[in-house]
Amino acid sequence: AAKSSRSGIEIYRPEMSERLLRRAQLASRLQHALDEGALELYYQPQVTVADGTLVGAEALLRWHDPVLGQVSPDEFIPLAEHRGLIGAVGQWVAAQACRQLHHWESAGRALPGQLAINISPRQLDDPQFAEQLLELVRQAGVLPGKIDLELTESGIMIDPESSLSILQKLKDAGFSLSLDDFGMGYSSLAHLRGFPLDKIKLDRSFVLGMLEQPHDYAIVVATIAMAQSLGLRMVAEGVESALQVDALKRLGCSHAQGYFYGVPLPAEQFAEQWLNT
Ligand code: C2E
Ligand code: CA
Ligand code: CA
Ligand code: CA
């Protein structure tokens, strides 16, 4: 049996894996999601390790499709990158983040610190990226200093020279720059030297293992020390337990994010829980 889709490119064959079928479905639905407002940002608190004071939040994308249900960003972001939709998705995220900052501010519930947004490596391929982001933020009436851009190591190393010039431009404009998933990429130390970073986010796999695996613990210790001596802020990701908090506090880690403090929440609930009137 053969069945062709609207675009005529899918021929059903018994060997076609469910995964391919799902990807094709997702890709065609994602464009609709953008058009129909099926995307939403959730917000997860970032706090000081010392006393849990709110210092900012990370915006995390959620997609609820009426047919496919909830789709994880770990699944649809790579797909958006592959299908050339990441530029549009990224623009939506930045615009929505600005609208939200503005909204909280005018409601007398301004977010302290910064709102972090995730930047896909593929967005850096667009030569207009920096200009467009700046323009968007300007038009939204938000100061770039309120926004923290999270980039991954592997992302900026695809084309280090071009990344550097883009990141320098954004840094000069006032955005703050974070290195996400630190420790999971390759040659991490070179990035710290070469790029105008403000913050590193230690990947949650190290925090997860730090109390059981001596190697993970050693990496956490070394990263905290390095961040301190380089004058970088450090955020430990994926903090889930009081024991981890105690250890991080003892080691002098400045900031943290994770389920222990708060899960990502829709804007309203985040404000209820974290933003005082
Ligand atoms: P990420 O940037 O490393 O985001 C952190 C992920 O860890 C989020 O998953 C968050 O919900 C989860 N998390 C936070 N605290 C904990 C914890 O204590 N324990 C555990 N186990 N997990 C925790 P999420 O929201 O599913 O996002 C997955 C990934 O999708 C993100 O990883 C990021 O790479 C990507 N992503 C999400 N939103 C966007 C976006 O707007 N743009 C782009 N380009 N990528 C995004
Ligand atoms: Ca992130
Ligand atoms: Ca991360
Ligand atoms: Ca990650």
Atom 15, ligand 1: residue with shortest CA distance: 258
Of 12-16, 187-191, 273-277, which gets the smallest average pLDDT? Answer: 12-16
pLDDT band of 2, cuts 50, 70, 90? very low
Task: Indicate the residue type of 165.
Answer: S
* Nearest ligand 1 atom to alpha carbon 117: 41
Q: What is the model's pLDDT at position 188?
A: 65
* Nearest ligand 1 atom to alpha carbon 80: 44
Pocket of ligand 1 (CB under 6 A): 44, 60-61, 72-74, 77, 93, 118, 120, 180-181, 204, 238-240, 257-259, 264
Q: Which of 71, 92, 117, 118 most suits a substitution to test ligand 1, by most atoms within 8 Å of the C-beta? A: 118
Residues around ion ligand 2, judged by CB within 5 A, are: 118, 150, 180
Distance from residue 181's CA to the centre of ligand 4 (Å) = 6
Helix (H, G, I), strand (E, B) or coil at 127: coil
First-last CA distance in the chain = 61
Distance from residue 238's CA to the centre of ligand 1 (Å) = 10
Atom 2, ligand 1: residue with shortest CA distance: 118
Q: Which residue has the tokens 């980039």?
A: 151
What are the two backbone dihedrals, phi and then psi, of residue 226, each rounded to the nearest 5 degrees? -65, -45
* pLDDT tens readout for residues 195-241: 999 999 999 999 999 999 999 999 999 999 999 999 999 999 999 99
- What would the two tokens of residue 209 be? 């293992």
* pLDDT tens readout for residues 43-86: 999 999 999 999 999 999 999 998 889 999 999 999 999 999 99
* Nearest ligand 1 atom to alpha carbon 150: 2
* Nearest ligand 1 atom to alpha carbon 86: 44
Atom 8, ligand 1: residue with shortest CA distance: 60
Helices and strands per DSSP (H, E), number in the chain: 11, 10
- For the segment 160-182, the average pLDDT, to the nearest whole number, is 95
* pLDDT tens readout for residues 23-38: 888 988 998 999 888 9
Helix (H, G, I), strand (E, B) or coil at 39: strand
User: Which long-range contacts link 5-14 to residues 24+ away (Cβ below 8 Å)?
Assistant: none
* Nearest ligand 1 atom to alpha carbon 260: 18
Task: Indicate the residue type of 196.
Answer: P
Query: H helices of 160-213, where?
Result: 160-173, 188-194, 204-209
Rounded Cα distance, 144 and 78, in Å: 27
Q: What is the model's pLDDT at position 189?
A: 75
E-assigned strand segments in 113-191: 114-118, 147-152, 176-182
Distance from residue 151's CA to the centre of ligand 3 (Å) = 9
Burial class (CB in 10 A: 0-12, 13-18, 19+), 14: exposed
